[in-house]
Structure 1
């Protein structure tokens, strides 16, 4: 059932101030990223498109133009220039995006080619791959697995990436931002995967916030206070990180309190350059990460943006099926910031002083 305009007025769109400022700053330098929103049939997505346009983004909706605009009018979205455009799925399927989908399907799942050609999530991924848009967001009414499958099948992994993982951007009640990884994709990462997750999460955090990442590898032990094979995996991961990205500020193993509370850090690991002020927290497995971000959100009052996919050749992000309009807008802005921050720039921020799927 569609909500009345009066009901919708009770749900104002709340845009994260840091994300708004970052995007408006980039817009002031002439950048206006194009983002594909796959689910134009969803009221939340239509409202989010208008909000994104207001802060310097060019939203592109996939759907029949007349149907989308009629639906917008029914919802009270009647601006003469809403700031977004519509791409017809049949037109996309008949062009370069369709060729991309057929080519990908022939290599991986030829029996699904025709299905993918009518799937807006796959069309969105192909449009990004072909340069028709800079980024894409999907998943408002689809499982995480569908979005990941489209990203991997059509866009593929980045040349320097061997793993698709995820992170969340968390805004705490005091205004601080933290990166949490991995909370949605890799159930039990080995030491190599854990190191890849840490580096990817640091780069994602830097790209979004423009802050220098300080990475804590979490465990139930701090600096050798306990011995266990799970702790050994974390220690090996740190060795890999220091070998691959030697200037990244990283330490562990650290318990959560030692990672973020300065007084605890001084007591447990006073020599650590990370302990007490970490802003990127890497969990040892998916259970810990998923539980951790939901505790921070539900009991700690943090805002959770994600899951943000890491490792793809182009930015495509997932939405919770329970996402609000504000959630869609904020994840859309994050995805655009990822598109506007080349991988090399994000990597520089991490080194200077400046597949298994889960459902939602």
Structure 2
């Protein structure tokens, strides 16, 4: 996968500080060791230093001493982070006492480090549920400006290079929002375009998918996609986006010429935005299994800094790739903020 290597190369060239809250988990430690050996990112592990050192030795890991290790129970910024959490959440009922307890939770600590400017992104989920990973992210890091919903994109690497961007398509939302409104769907489209720029380095061409192409069917579900397309254009006037389009019209030139003549996106899309979570989730799994595509994700988007959720069945390689992806997200966010 040349693109994955490009992602890793870009991360190496501009090292970001990525925090791994599950610092005593075996796959996380093995991934951290490889990331540190390869110089992909500056790794922050949350956990007891003695325990991490003993585990690293037992696994035969040689590079863990290059990581920054933060003990959630005892570190120099513990009081400052607890105060930050109290300040952020006091209107929601947070007390200094509750903050003092929560700051010892590695998932809360990781997000507080990001909020305080001491880390650039986080990867977790090998041991924790998506809800547990997202909750502190939304409470502390919060959503990006102009965005109110978090969504999940997948990079789909296809064997057939004639589709998308040399065989790469970005699918969303496949992970978070069950039935987005038109406004939320527009946000998902804009967020996925940003993900495509930051991680893939490609010019996003966004297709808003439906079972209708340009009025070929009439239904309230089609109306939602049409409205979402209009709203996305308002949010990002320079964005290359079109809809509503059927999937074949979005990615096949011949079909596009018949169904959507004159569209600058139809037949050329590299970003596919699905109308609901069930459609997106089913689609990515079918493409993965039937077309033999490699699916990388979910990449969480819409958060003000990269916080990505792993499957609890993830591999060491999955964690390695997601750290490189989070690093690219952080680089892109910093560039767009300038």
Deviation at 1:22, TM superposition (A): 3.5
Deviation at 1:166, TM superposition (A): 2.2
**Structure 2: how far apart are the matches of 1:109 and 1:122?**
16
Cα contact 1:100–1:154 (8 A) shared by 2: no
- Aligned CA RMSD, in angstroms, stands at 2.1
**Structure 1: how far apart are the matches of 2:149 and 2:270?**
22
Instruction: Map 1:58-207 to 2 at 5 A.
Output: 58-77=42-61, 79=62, 83-92=66-75, 94-110=78-94, 113-174=99-160, 176-207=167-198
Identify which range, 274-283 or 53-62, moves more after superposition.
53-62
Cα contact 2:7–2:325 (8 A) shared by 1: no
Per-residue displacement from partner, 1:130-182 (whole Å, max 9, x unpaired)? 11111111111111111111111111122332222222222222462221111
Instruction: Map 1:211-222 to 2 at 5 A.
Output: 211-222=202-213
Structure 2 residue 18 is matched with structure 1 residue 27: no
1:12 is aligned to: none
Identify which range, 127-136 or 158-167, moves more after superposition.
158-167
Cα contact 2:305–2:333 (8 A) shared by 1: no
2:40 to 52, 56, 61: 56
TM-score, normalisation: structure 1: 0.86
Structure 1 stretches of 5 or more lacking a match? 1-15, 349-360
Per-residue displacement from partner, 1:309-345 (whole Å, max 9, x unpaired)? 2222211111111111111111111111011113663
1:9 is aligned to: none
Structure 2 stretches of 5 or more lacking a match? 162-166
**Structure 2: how far apart are the matches of 1:142 and 1:119?**
12
Instruction: Map 1:334-353 to 2 at 5 A.
Output: 334-342=325-333, 345=336
Deviation at 1:290, TM superposition (A): 1.1
2:19 is aligned to: 36
2:164 is aligned to: none
1:293 to 284, 290, 294: 284
Off by >6 Å, runs of 4+ in structure 1: none
1:238 is aligned to: 229
TM-score, normalisation: structure 2: 0.91
Deviation at 1:105, TM superposition (A): 4.2
Give 3-state SS (helix, strand or coil) of 1:32's partner: coil
